[in-house]
Structure 1
Amino acid sequence: MAGLLTKDTTLSYKASGSTFVVLEHLMEVPEMGGDPEKVEVTTLSDSVKKYINGVKDLGDLTFKFLYDNETADSNYRILKGLQDADKPAEFKVEYPDGTGHEFSSYVNVKMDAAAVNAAMTFSVGMSLQSDITVTNPTT
């Protein structure tokens, strides 16, 4: 198998009904998934510490976008609107091979730092409200 290029990776949100709509100008996608916390279960008769897997901490996800606020359908306005609604929204990350990661999350939008001769960007923090459901590509 050859490697997979990240080009054409998308982040979509669920608009009214059940249709996912792609958010334009996505620049970065965070790691998807998390590690379970270790819960110690060592007893007094054990000679080594023992652990079991505890609750998985997925943490917050932060996506980076090229700033666009020109129209009502601009990425910044859509995401800021989801933040202002103060309700979890449904999202889907999809990779070029068709692998998908779906989750529910609150949204927090913030403008990134501005610098001389640099593109304007903003970041979207996602506070997960569900597990991440992975779908495999269809062949």
Structure 2
Amino acid sequence: MLANGATLEVKKSGESTFAKLPGLKELPDVGVEPEKVENTTLEDEIKQYENGIGDPGDMTYKFKWDNGDAKASYRILREYEKTGETVSFKETLKDGTTTEFDAQVAVKRAGAGVNAAMEFDLNLSLQSNLKITDPA
């Protein structure tokens, strides 16, 4: 499936509806890899492991650069970064699969050169589990 048609939406705590963030260009890997915890006893002949706490890794979304008005994704997200508040996100894929989570925001304008498009990165620090909902 192509990523075309995917959206990312955001809402503050206490708000009832999500607002679409325009200019989304690239999605991060989404999922949780549990850490491998060694739990070998003196009776074991080889090391034994258990799954530990999950680590989703870095979640970075790429956006087209636009800082033209107050509704630009860059300005909205930079405001969340300034306040340090945890906000809710909802990613929706073309087939209807959704992933919802809470995160703190860090925004970084990416560098660019001759004949290269300007972008910015939305780096998220997860503050909740990932809630993945399959399409109907």
Fold shared, TM-score > 0.5 on shorter chain: yes
Runs of 4 or more, structure 1, over 3 Å off, are: none
- How far, CA to CA, are the matches of 1:41 and 1:83 in structure 2? 40
2:41 to 43, 55, 60: 43
Task: Report the number of matched residues.
Answer: 135
Instruction: Quote how far apart the aligned CAs of 1:118 are.
Output: 1.1
Structure 2 CA distance for aligned equivalents of residues 86 and 47 of structure 1: 49
The letter for the 2-side match of 1:7 is N
Root-mean-square deviation over aligned CA pairs = 1.1
Counterpart of 2:11 in structure 1: which amino acid?
Answer: K
Q: SS of the residue aligned with 1:103?
A: strand
Q: Deviations over 1:42-68 (max 9, x none)?
A: 111111111111000112311100011
> Where does residue 10 of structure 2 map in the other structure?
13
Q: Note the C-alpha offset of 1:5.
A: 1.6
Equivalent position of 2:82 in the other structure: 84
Asked if structure 2 preserves the Cα contact closer than 8 Å seen for 1:26 and 1:65, the reply is: yes
Contact kept in structure 2, 1:107 and 1:127, CA below 8 Å: yes
Listed one character per residue, the Cα deviations across residues 111-132 of structure 1 (whole Å, up to 9, x for unaligned) are 1012011111110100111111
**1:22 is aligned to 2:23:** no
Check the 8 A contact 1:59/1:127 in 2, yes or no: no
Structure-1 separation of matches of 2:46 and 2:30: 32
Identity %: 45
Q: Deviations over 1:77-130 (max 9, x none)?
A: 111111112111100111011111111101000110120111111101001111
Q: Is there any run of 5+ residues in structure 1 with no aligned partner, and where? A: none
SS in 2 for 1:93: strand
